[in-house]
Amino acid sequence: MLGSMDDSKEWPEVEKAGKERRRELVLQGAAVDKRISSNGGLNPAIYSLTLLNYLEISQCPSLTEIHDDIKHLTNLQSLILCRNKLVSIPRAIGGLGSVKVLDLSVNNLRVLPEEITRLAELNTLNVSCNSLEALPEGLSQCTKLSTINISKNHITAFPDDFYSERLDLLSTVIASDNSIQELSADVHKLSALKMLDLSNNMLSEIPSDLSDCSKLKEINLRGNKFKDKRLEKMVNGCQTKSILDYIRAGSRGKGKGKQGEDGDDAEAGGRNADKRKRQQQRKKKKKVDEEDEVEELDKMVVRVLHVSDAPTALTVKVSEEMKDIRPYLVCCMVRGMNLKPGNALKRFLMAQTKLHEDLCGKRTTATIATHDTQFLKGPLVYGAKPPAQLKIVPLGRKEVTAVELMRQLQLEADEQRKQKKRQNVSGLHKYLQLLDGKALYPCLLDADGNVISFPPITNSEKTKIRKTTKELFLEVTSSTSLQTCKDVMDALILKMVELNKFTAEHKEEVGSDGEGDTPPEPAADGETASETSSELIIQQIRTVDQDGNLKVVYPSKTDLSKDISNLTVIW
């Protein structure tokens, strides 16, 4: 809604965007939310910024509606309205024909307007973490759609036209934590499908046609109650190829069984009774063996070392001024992560990027940093510095002050826009707005006063992880809550143990992908079993205040406690 605010009193960000004819506008956080609350809505001048390509309004609980005047922003390519309290989206959104990215995640939406299906250029739709019960019919009209995330809603089924050959670019479907009861046999029509997440739904069967999705590389079906109990076990521990092979073979087996029944006669049944009995006994034994094998493959182990068991462990002291800047931090150390084989390091970095994009809300709610522990000198201090005094060697760059780094990144962002003739920028450049107007920048310093982390922008080249890294120091910072930090760290560790398990299972295959990576080496004398298996060892880290009083220790007994059947945490 527009509210009753004085239209002549423009918000500084909006006024600046108008005067400088900017293509991007980011409004987020408590200060913006306060203005929305006190003024009865967004500044109407926002809707006059017709040159905007990128508009983000996020983390504003007072924002419940968007005005129809958004229809004037016809040049928008990215519309990010996440982590607000929106209860509706205006039908006028259908007029934004240039929109490619639409993010409505973490709101209070119960329904989406059908006009969304008129967004012909749409390639990414994120409506996760709402209260949607259905998707609008007609999504097949969005023929350029490549990624859709509808996780954590109340959706019971995909629209009938969702399984359409027109969606021949749709590669990623994330629909976890819903109430979906059936996957249509028409799923094979999604010819570009590479990633499908249907975990934690109400599926009882999977159509054999799913195995005809030739490009499908990643599938998550955990948390469903399948009639086929072996399939239920397999989805918890086996790789996508094994699951699809089983689904395909199961379909053929059923067909053959039916043909056999039709062709049986009494005489053949009598002669072959003993033979069938022996075959059944062998099959039963084989099934038991296979189930045992699946259960063994399924296991993922995290072993926690207590601080008391390692008196020389790193500690992190949090400075007093951080309570008003970026107050929340959790840390831990990880051993047993095998980054050497194949593209294991690349997969780990990609997983971290995905967490930043999804769970961390594009770094707006939390930021992850990873370090090679051998280059750390503790104790560490989590504090803040003025931008001109904060010096860091950013990843892939020479030492600069934060002021110089931000200036460099802004120039690079402007150059990207000119060269690519588009408004969206990539890399660190898209996070510059997160520090606008800050007098002090957060940072993590080692015992010598070197800045090793500058959240939410970058960490240091000095502590960069490599294929040879044997022990990692993990940090998660947030301005939102301590629980947010813990949730992100939990998710990161779970992803790490999954990746480690994948690497261990493919130890004979990694290194043969043509990237010149070296194959895994046999365990050297003195190496523990965890260094050549998927088991991770997590060393607790204490975070203390200025006086040395304990603030948090991670992981505690209440962390890593998600109901994941194949994860074992040993304390």
pLDDT digits (tens, 9 = 90+) for 254-286: 444 333 344 344 344 444 555 565 566 666 555
Determine the angle formed by the axes of helices 482-505 and 344-357, rounding to 10 degrees.
150
User: Quick one: 84 and 152 in the same domain?
Assistant: no
**225 in a domain, yes or no?**
yes
CA 389 – CA 385 distance, rounded (Å): 6
**295 in a domain, yes or no?**
no
Domain that holds residue 146: 132-258
**118 in a domain, yes or no?**
no
pLDDT(158) > 90: yes
User: Quick one: 332 and 406 in the same domain?
Assistant: yes
Q: What is the pLDDT of residue 360?
A: 85
Are 370 and 474 a contacting pair, CB within 8 Å? yes
Mean pLDDT of 532-558: 83
Q: How confident is the model at residue 407 (pLDDT cuts 50, 70, 90)?
A: confident
Q: How far is CA 474 from CA 12, 333, 347, 444, in A?
A: 37, 6, 17, 12
pLDDT(416) > 80: no
Q: Of 102, 123, 144, which residue constitutes the final position of a domain?
A: 102
**123 in a domain, yes or no?**
no
- The vertex-134 CA angle with 128 and 136, nearest 5°, equals 100
**434 in a domain, yes or no?**
no
pLDDT(439) > 50: yes
User: Quick one: 397 and 483 in the same domain?
Assistant: yes
Higher pLDDT, 216 or 414: 216
In the chain, the number of structural domains is 3
Residue with tokens 């004037």: 72
Mean pLDDT of 99-107: 93
User: Quick one: 383 and 451 in the same domain?
Assistant: yes
Are 156 and 132 a contacting pair, CB within 8 Å? no
Q: What is the pLDDT of residue 81?
A: 94
CA 261 – CA 354 distance, rounded (Å): 50
User: Quick one: 526 and 483 in the same domain?
Assistant: yes
User: Quick one: 307 and 446 in the same domain?
Assistant: yes
Tell me the pairing of strands 300-305 and 536-544. parallel
Q: How confident is the model at residue 129 (pLDDT cuts 50, 70, 90)?
A: very high
The CATH number given to whatever domain includes residue 233 is 3.80.10.10
User: Quick one: 450 and 542 in the same domain?
Assistant: yes
pLDDT(73) > 60: yes
Q: How confident is the model at residue 385 (pLDDT cuts 50, 70, 90)?
A: very high
Mean pLDDT of 427-456: 81
Q: Which of 47-61, 67-81, 522-536 has the lowest mean pLDDT?
A: 522-536
User: Quick one: 353 and 498 in the same domain?
Assistant: yes
Are 230 and 294 a contacting pair, CB within 8 Å? yes
Higher pLDDT, 483 or 571: 483
CA 156 – CA 422 distance, rounded (Å): 38
Q: What is the pLDDT of residue 420?
A: 64
The beta-strand segments (E) located in 241-393 are 300-305, 315-318, 328-335, 367-372, 380-385, 391-392
Nearest to 381 by CA among 319, 442, 320: 319
177 secondary structure, DSSP code: S
The distance of Cα 186 from the centroid of its chain, to the nearest Å, equals 28
Per residue in 178-190, pLDDT (tens digit) is 999 999 999 999 9
User: Quick one: 31 and 148 in the same domain?
Assistant: no
**243 in a domain, yes or no?**
yes
Structure tokens, 108 = 């209070």
**269 in a domain, yes or no?**
no
Higher pLDDT, 263 or 17: 17
Q: Of 258, 291, 323, which residue constitutes the final position of a domain?
A: 258
The CATH number given to whatever domain includes residue 350 is 3.50.40.10
Q: What is the pLDDT of residue 278?
A: 59
Higher pLDDT, 96 or 239: 96
pLDDT(530) > 90: no
Q: What is the pLDDT of residue 6?
A: 41
User: Quick one: 64 and 211 in the same domain?
Assistant: no
pLDDT(143) > 60: yes
User: Quick one: 98 and 141 in the same domain?
Assistant: no
Per residue in 287-344, pLDDT (tens digit) is 544 444 444 444 567 777 766 555 556 789 999 989 888 899 999 999 988 898 888 8
**284 in a domain, yes or no?**
no
User: Quick one: 388 and 478 in the same domain?
Assistant: yes
The beta-strand segments (E) located in 115-171 are 124-126, 147-149
Taking the whole predicted model, whether its pTM rises above 0.85 is answered as no
Q: Of 206, 229, 258, which residue constitutes the final position of a domain?
A: 258
Supply the mean pLDDT for the chain: 81
Mean pLDDT of 369-389: 92
